[in-house]
Chain A
Amino acid sequence: MLDNQYHKIEDFLMDNSFVEWASGNYTEDDDYWKNFPLHNPVCEDNFKQACTIIKSFRIKPVSDLSAAEIDDLVNNVQSRISGNIAADNVRPIRFRMNNLLRFAAILIIALAVGLGYVVFDTGKNKQAYNKVNLQTCRHIINNSQTPMLVKLPDNSSVILQPGAQVNYPISFAANKREVNLTGEAFFEVSKNPARPFYVYSNELTIRVVGTSFKVMANDRDEQYKVLVSTGRVEVSAHNNKDAAINNKPAVVLTPNQQVVLYRKELKLEKAVLSKPMLLSKESTTIHFNFSGTPFSKVVTTIEEAYGVHIIYDEKVMGNCQLTASLIDQPLDERLKLICKAVEAEYKITGGQIIIQGKGCGN
């Protein structure tokens, strides 16, 4: 409110209440300002100009964070909090590289010692950068005898068979998600057309947007295989990483198709699977439609479909049955629903799925 009689333009502009009102925000002094020119006709001009100034004071906006970037940010913070980070690295999840040098997306393949390095670009074009930064990469090896479930930064899942290993960034790049794989694994990739998902295994490059598929890429094998359960997968072969990404014709796979990569010849051969993949639409309609199905059978179905191992107490849970239609959900949704139905809980520890419950009444 202006007490003095000297109403210069800047007096208006310095007044919080006036600025709020002129900006179009509701204030308690609305009436006062609305009627101001009437009560103070001499100052009307200055008043009007002050209004104009406020209305025209628009600052050039900067680009916002996209919804995906906000998701990443929130996820990263939550991961830090719950300490839900696989393995060794206790460093915070960061977007930027500690080394502020510019770099481009280069993939360096697993060396003989089994370590892999992945370096990504930040979405802008930067110069090639050869140095590797261990702090920004997660490296998971399944050294156990049973399959291991790994959650990726975008909530996709990978089930690593014994001996398999993956490398992936602590936080995926803005425009693509990249993962390095050696061995056999099943991927369930969360859908995001704006951020295609790439899996690299030596000469093999797989590109998807949101699908589930199996990769068989053991180091010693002469042939690599990719088998598709759901969605659409593009597979290409190459000797040099950058060539793959730039315009090599890819083989497109749809559900229940597979491709074999003959590594030496760099040849890709596509085939239809004689038996549909367990997680394809046809198969799940049959096998994931449970009706009074014993709990053990439900568990076995999931284990076979995903290649995971689920631990539970048969004595306790043995009398549980499930009637549910779990046709079209990703793995964790299915687990959730199953657990809900039998009043149990699941948790994932060290890549193992453990279901614990009190059993079912009668």
Chain B
Amino acid sequence: MDGDPRDDRELLAATAREPAAFGVFYRRNVPLIVAYFADRTQDPELAADLTAETFAAALHASRRYRPGPEPAAAWLFAIARSKLVDSYRRGQVEERSRRKLAMQPLRLDDSEIERVEELADAGREQLTRLLAELPQEQREAIEARVIDERDYADIAQELRCSEQVARKRVSRGLAHIRARLEENNS
């Protein structure tokens, strides 16, 4: 898709010696993150601000990133969620990571607000496509766990399965999504 054969985990690992790799990682994931924030804040400016802070935090933490069984996008979403919760708690979006990286403040012009929505739509479509590939039970489990952020006990009750099975479905679904993302990227 973007011509870089490396997956997100490899891009993050390469960021320290090859800064452009983070640019590729950013381009791949920015629609998903914008969609995540746009859905939760219903405010394009806030969504753009939180996106900027999330990627700055991801860049700052990229040296500490250790590839695990989950896709790198899951790691990025964990940062995004933490930024969102912080913003609710403080009533404002933090700028700590951007300050640490000495990044210039960016302003979203009124004319660009529509583009945030477009990008969010692209992210939602990307997510929908990935989810549509999964078997129904995995799709439901991932929607409940990753998108709605519900507890496994809660999910298990709704899906009428044990907590272990719910965990397994989420894990298998994420593994499938990771494989597809790697395939698409290559």
Chains A and B belong together in one complex: no
Q: Which residues of B approach A to under 8 Å, CB–CB?
A: none
